[in-house]
Amino acid sequence: MRRRPLAPPVLAVLVLALAGCGRDAPTRSPTTGSADRRPAIGVKSEAPEATVDLGFPAFATKNTLRFAGADPVANAAAVSLATFPSQTRGTRPAAVALADAGDWRTAVLASVLAAPPIRAAMLLGQGGELPGATKDALERLAPTGTPAAGGAQVIRVGAKAPRAEGLRTTDLTQADPYALARSVDAFAAAAAERTSDSVLVVSADAPQFAMPAAAWSAKSGDAILFTARDRLPAETRRALAAHRQPRIYVLGPRSVVGDGVLAELRRLGTVRRVGDADPVRNAIAFARFSDSGFGWGVVDPGHGFAFARVDRPADVAGAALLATHGTYAPLVLVRDGRRLDGAVEGYLLDVQPGYTRDPVRGVYNRGLILGDDRALSLAAQARMDALLEIQPVNTSSAQGADRETTQP
């Protein structure tokens, strides 16, 4: 029997169902299996006794799109399928990176595999097992195998990364995070046939400050290495030596990476610290930062932004794909799911797009939210939508004000 293409509303419902956020019936968490009854958001159709759950505004507003998973496992699955629709061989990923949702470090390190030349999809296991959402997504993605990694279809990152039976697999499974970071760096360098000129060094113990590094690594292919607060581990030192005096960017404040570590790093390359003492402001500072080709440099309108909760570090798996496909979005963090932080509101106002005559000729911002309305409320999403909206600019008033201030 020939199948007809899915209509867009139906496709939207399928994405919501995969992400564990259907509204018409109790849903079950892909990792815990616990029932979750949520209020329905439905639209009546012409057919009697039928309701189509379009998911608005929880799924999307005019300037936002939500990957409404109940947890990072579901979000990674939903983003992977949105990035790689997998309807034809050309829309499947060459490889899938599998990390563990319970160890945020593995998700951060795996992000570099989303960069060229591997361009892997990102999925998460749980305690060495394949949760339902991950298993279903892996079957639908059907990775073709990447020549950059010897034909591997799956790359396991971390000691607890689950196995995918029947697929060609490469294992990067050191238990020590510093050794694992070195191993992933060497693997990515071999695939790209070069080491990266820039390296991000982040805390192995403070996920809230390390999270933004994952999106940049996925976009750029720059390595991520871990450090302790007051000492530079030997594995990290050896990995940096292989880069031969790279530009080293330390992400985070002195409270998570001390000045003594920077002194050690200066023996291995040029060093610059980026960030802020507050994790939300730290992510914004990194999104704004630019230095000779390194960094997002997002200080103007016309960009995508990925939003995740600061206390859900494994969501960097989904953020990695959003950083290297579509609108190439830097990661912005929010602290409280009920409202946007003041620093986030200020940042979005700074880069809000405007137009003088015709909005069609303008540029647009877009918000990509990781998590359901418990991660970020509908009220916060609505506020975000307003701050992302293109606005008319009254140039005549501005010019008149200029004339007034310049007249003698």
pLDDT digits (tens, 9 = 90+) for 12-34: 333 444 444 333 333 333 343 33
What global pTM score does this model have? Answer: 0.85
Please tell me what DSSP assigns to residue 345.
Answer: H
pLDDT digits (tens, 9 = 90+) for 348-369: 999 999 999 999 999 999 999 9
* Rounded (10°) CA dihedral 24, 386, 15, 58: -10
Q: What are phi and psi of 371, to 5 degrees?
A: 125, 155
Give which of 6, 104, 27, 37 is closest to 69, Cα–Cα.
Answer: 27
For residues 206-210, give the mean pLDDT: 98
Q: How many CA atoms lie within 13 A of 396 on its CB side?
A: 1
DSSP string, 156-189: EESTTPPP-TTS-EEEE--SSHHHHHHHHHHHHH
* Termini Cα distance of the chain: 81
Separation CA 210–CA 316 (nearest Å): 10
* Rounded (10°) CA dihedral 160, 164, 165, 171: -60
Burial label, 400 (beta-carbon count in 10 A; 0-12, 13-18, 19+): exposed
pLDDT digits (tens, 9 = 90+) for 218-263: 999 999 999 999 999 999 999 999 999 999 999 999 999 999 999 9
DSSP string, 221-253: --EEEEE-SS---HHHHHHHHHHSS-EEEEES-
